Amino acid sequence: MIIAEPKPIDEIIDSLKDFNRILVAGCDGCVTVCEAGGMKEVEVVASALRIYFKQAGRAVTVDEISLTRQCDRPYTAQLADKIDQYDAVLSLACGVGVQFLAEDYKNKPIFPGVNTCFMGGTEEKGLWTERCQGCGKCILANTGGICPIARCSKRMLNGPCGGSSDGRCEVNKDIACGWHLIYERLKELGQLDRFETPTDPKDWNTSRDGGPRKVIKEVSRL
């Protein structure tokens, strides 16, 4: 899923302090699961805003809602009949949701309430780690199911580098060396011979280097 974390409340207040009617809009998708932008966070942020405006002596309306997904238009459209009641929207969805709202409601300022971080998974309650960088050309088949693009600090294709020490990365001892993990896994699988053939340079066209991307699945198109 997409992992995000709540923005500091001061930053949110700074972006909204001049508005009078604010809607805080959560998303029931990924950001709910990673506890950054679901209905609970909507209520937390909205309460913090109300306290701020009350203390500032300003009568500001702060309403709450959470949409099923902000990355699908039928769901963002659920705001259509109420959007005019507000002069700003704080979206707690990922960057995708914020942009969909901004595209759908062109005359409304839409502010992000979270920092969208990466694609990852839940390690344990309250801890999420990165697994994928969306490079557009998956090489996990050759690397023992461990991605060197996401897990190696240098995104090396032929690792490990000289900075790997006792399985830890030179960038930070808290980071496991991705290539060390790949080595251990390939050893487990009896595939260490993969290290005998160097991997060719990667075609980064499918990644960000080719500009903004789109995916078309012809059979799915109507």
Partner 1 sequence: MANSSGKKKKGAVLVVGAGVAGMQASLDLASSGYLVHLVDKSPTIGGIMSQLDKTFPTNDCAMCIISPKLVEVGRHLNINILPNTEVEGLEGEAGNFQVALKSHPRYIDLKACTACGQCRQVCPVTAVNEFNQALDLREATYMRYPQAIPRGFTIDRNVCIGCGLCEKVCLAEAVHYDDTAKEFSLDVGAVILAPGNEIFDPSKFDTYNYLNLPNVVTSLEFERILSASGPYRGHLMRPYDREEPAKIAWLQCVGSRNINACDNSYCSAVCCMYAIKEAVIAKEHAHGNLDTAIFYMDMRTYGKEFEQYYNRAKEHGVRFIRSRIHSIEPEGECDLRLTYADEQGQQKSEVFDMVVLSVGFEVGKETVELGKRLNIDLNRHKFAVTDGFKPVETSRPGVYVCGTLQGPKDIPQSVMEASGAAAGTSALLSESRWTETRSLQLPPQRDVSKEPPRIGVFVCNCGINIGGIVDVPAVREYARTLPYVVHVEDNLFTCSQDTQVRMGQVIKEKGINRMVVAACTPLTHEPLFRETLLDIGLNKYLFEMANIRNQDSWVHMKDRQKATDKAKDLVRMSVARAALLQQLEEQKIQIQQSGLVIGGGIAGMNAALNLAQQGFSAILVEKGTELGGLARCVTHTIDGMEVQPYVDSLIAEVKAHPGIKVLTESEVTSFKGYKGNFTTKVRVGSSLEEETFEHGVVIVATGAKEYRPKEFLYGEHDGVMTQMDLDEVLRQRGAGNGNDPAKWNRAIMIQCVGSRNEENPNCSRICCQSAVKHALELKKLNPAMDIVILYRDMRMYGLLEDYYTEARRQGIIFSRFDLDDLPKVESNGAGLKVTFHDHVLQRHIQMPADAVVLSAATLAANTDQLATQLKVPRNAYGFFIEAHAKLRPVDFSSEGIYLCGTAHSPKLISESITQSLAAASRAGSFLAGKTLSVGGAVAHVDKSHCAACLVCVMSCPYGVPKINDENVSEINPALCQGCGVCVSECPAKAIQLSHFEDDQITVEVHALLEGAV
Q: Which of 209, 194, 196 is nearest to 141 (CA)?
A: 194
Q: Does 76 bind partner 1 (CB under 8 A)?
A: no
Q: Does 58 bind partner 1 (CB under 8 A)?
A: no
Name the one range near partner 1 by CB under 8 A: 6-14, 30-38, 77-85, 197-205.
Answer: 30-38
Phi, psi dihedrals of residue 27, rounded to the nearest 5°? -135, 135
In angstroms, the CA 10 to CA 110 distance is 17
Nearer to partner 1, 124 or 174 (CB): 124
Find the helix or strand (DSSP H, E) in which 51 lies. helix 39-55
Minimum distance between the CB of residue 59 and partner 1, rounded to whole angstroms? 13
Number of chain residues interacting with partner 1 (CB under 8 A): 15
DSSP string, 169-187: ETTEEEEEPHHHHHHHHHH
Q: Does 41 bind partner 1 (CB under 8 A)?
A: yes
Minimum distance between the CB of residue 155 and partner 1, rounded to whole angstroms? 30
Strands 114-124 and 110-112: unpaired
**Among 9, 33, 83, 88, contact with partner 1 (rule: CB under 8 A):** 33
Q: Does 43 bind partner 1 (CB under 8 A)?
A: yes
| Residue 92: DSSP 8-state | -
Phi, psi dihedrals of residue 9, rounded to the nearest 5°? -60, -30
Rg (CA), the chain: 22
**Among 16, 32, 120, 186, contact with partner 1 (rule: CB under 8 A):** 32
Q: Does 28 bind partner 1 (CB under 8 A)?
A: yes
- Interface contacts to partner 1, rule CB under 8 A: 28-29, 32-33, 35, 38-41, 43, 54, 66, 122, 124-125
